[in-house]
């Protein structure tokens, strides 16, 4: 029997910009640690529902920067340790769309080709100017 040949259809590869726009259009997935933190805080919230605000045993532990002095101390510590910088850097790093292996190889090859070409051009111009100045100045 004659076997049927399957026709292979190759999809065009996406550019980094296309992937970035596609990633922005997708809804943000909830992170596992956020759901775990929510689940861990449920007993604390449940314990505080039936108790008056003054008698909450975990009021400071749940919201530590609720009072003004604690907020001030938190701001000072944040500015000294540059915590805001690291937090914002981490958020920015999470937004980066990283290229896959194939794109990385292409871009690396392009950088090497450009560097070699630019080096050759500079060396030819340097050699030509060297010969020109030796001819004019040393005669």
CA 113 to chain centre: 27
Q: Report whether pLDDT(85) > 90.
A: no
Check whether residue 44 and residue 85 sit in a common domain: yes
Q: How high is the pLDDT of residue 124? A: 98
- Pair of tokens at residue 73: 């101390």
Exposure string of 77-106, with b = 16+ CB inside 10 Å and e = fewer, is eeeeeeeeeeeeeeeeeeeeeeeeeeeeee
Lowest mean pLDDT: which of 10-14, 48-52, 67-71, 110-114?
Answer: 48-52
Question: Looking at residue 29, what DSSP letter applies?
Answer: P
Rg of the chain's alpha carbons, rounded to an integer?
Answer: 31
SS3 of residue 12 by DSSP: coil
The SS3 of residue 16 is helix
Q: Are residues 138 and 110 in the same domain?
A: yes
Report the number of distinct structural domains present in the chain: 2
pLDDT in tens, 100-112: 999 999 999 999 9
Q: Quickly count: other Cβ atoms within 10 Å of residue 2's Cβ.
A: 4
- For residue 91, the enclosing domain spans 38-96
Residue 15 lies in a domain: no
pTM of the model: 0.36
């Amino acid at each position: 029997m004659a076997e049927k040949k399957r026709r292979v259809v190759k999809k065009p590869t996406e550019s980094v910009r296309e992937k970035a726009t596609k990633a922005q259009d997708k809804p943000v997935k909830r992170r596992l640690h956020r759901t775990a933190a929510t689940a861990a805080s449920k007993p604390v919230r449940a314990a505080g529902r039936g108790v008056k605000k003054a008698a909450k045993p975990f009021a400071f532990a749940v919201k530590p920067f609720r009072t003004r002095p604690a907020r001030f101390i938190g701001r000072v510590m944040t500015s000294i340790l540059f915590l805001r910088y690291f937090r914002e850097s981490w958020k920015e790093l999470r937004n980066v769309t990283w290229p896959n292996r194939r794109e990385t190889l292409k871009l690396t090859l392009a950088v090497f080709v450009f560097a070699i070409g630019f080096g050759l051009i500079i060396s030819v111009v340097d050699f030509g100017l060297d010969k020109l100045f030796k001819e004019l100045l040393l005669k």
